[in-house]
Amino acid sequence: LQRRGSGEDFFAFYETHDAAPIEELNGLRWIAAGGCRAVHRLDRATPEGWAELAAAWRTQPTWWFGVLGYDLKNAFEPSLPERGDAWHGMPDLALWEPEWVLECRPDGTVVEHGDAQSWLQQRAAKQETRSQRLSPWSMDWSAPDYFEQADSLKFHLHRGDIYEVNLCVGSQAKGPVNLAAMYRSLQARAEAGMAGMLKWGEFTVVSASPERYLQVSPEGQLRSQPIKGTAPRHADATKDAAEGSALRQAEKEQAENVMIVDLVRHDFSRVAAAQTVKVPRLLELQSFKTVHHLVSTVEAQLKPGLDWLDAVAASFPMGSMTGAPKLRAMELIDSHEARPRGWYSGAMGYVRPDGSADFNVLIRTLFGHAPSDSWQLWAGSALTLAADPAAEWDECLLKAATPQNVWNESVE
């Protein structure tokens, strides 16, 4: 299914890996979609464009799959400036209505919506002409460049403009890859709970995200699971346990996580029924294959008459990828990072006809542009007054290492 879909113009495969940590909110083992009935895109996010998009879904609720790019924020905060040309014309929002959907439930039962079998039988993966262009990974910044921007942001932290900000750095590479093999290799190493691969026209996403941005139930229950706090895994069990315990007890990491939890609670409160915003799990240590994380879970109940579109408008982008206060943090991100984030730190996922939805946060993710064989990868970390820029730089390198290595091994 992944191999066949990787040769199509529109295809999605999202999975919640069976390996630890098992997340109780993951209601499916995987979901896939293909074919295209209609495309919905916003090249540049505006309040008017978002209103038209929302009206289209509310008029005819249906399946939508795709990506909410980071700069969709401008539809909800129009005072934020545009940052210039997007990477290869990447739109701020890229959704589509598929011809078919397959859902694999926890017991292994596969439910088909539409005619996926005909698609599988009749379509052969396209044989694309592969270029021989190859450029290795090149980061936008060196360590001194990063330290310069981090020091500038720490000035704003000392002044009280912000309490936390997520500073990210991009990398660029060029080369033809085996998309399906690269996704399988990345997920085998990461065992991420919100992973997926996506083809949307010229653009490709290969994600090993561990983080849930937003889940909406058919009854309007909202859930978000911000991650703040990262430490490496170790092959030695004693060292690994000590690393996880140290992360769980680290005051700086706890403070970062709680600040973002408060931000998500505030975002949810804008659309939630009174007294329904809760934090059932706070500072939970989750151990993935290559890293430990601190994960919190925020819940709320939508007010009557509101839907997933209202929840996105109130909470996007994910607070763990901006900082707090959110608007000022986004302004400073725009003025300090080397280039527009594109789809990085946005969200990838799907919406059902009943209004339920599930979106990840696009981190630990490779972004491709098929015609040019160009690829992007980003990594970031949170800066607070207590942050050591050298340690935050090392965290960026740690987060980027696995996707970079997998891409290097997948070049054809």
Active-site residues: which are they?
211, 228
The amino acid present at 300, given as its one-letter code, is A
CA distance 96 to 350: 10
Report the candidate in 184, 213, 86, 182 with the shortest Cα–Cα distance to residue 411.
182
For 169, the token pair is 């750095």
Report the candidate in 402, 323, 331, 324 with the shortest Cα–Cα distance to residue 365.
402
DSSP string, 199-244: EETTEEEEE----EEEEE-TT-EEEEE-EEEEEE--SSHHHHHHHH
CA distance 263 to 382: 14
Report the candidate in 173, 92, 39 with the shortest Cα–Cα distance to residue 346.
92
- What is the longest distance spanned by two Cα atoms in the chain? 62
Could you give the C-alpha distances from 145 to 23, 142, 313, 387, in angstroms and in order? 38, 5, 34, 17
Q: What sections of 316-388 are H helices per DSSP? A: 326-336
For 149, the token pair is 């921007």
Q: Is 39 helix (H, G, I), strand (E, B) or coil?
A: strand
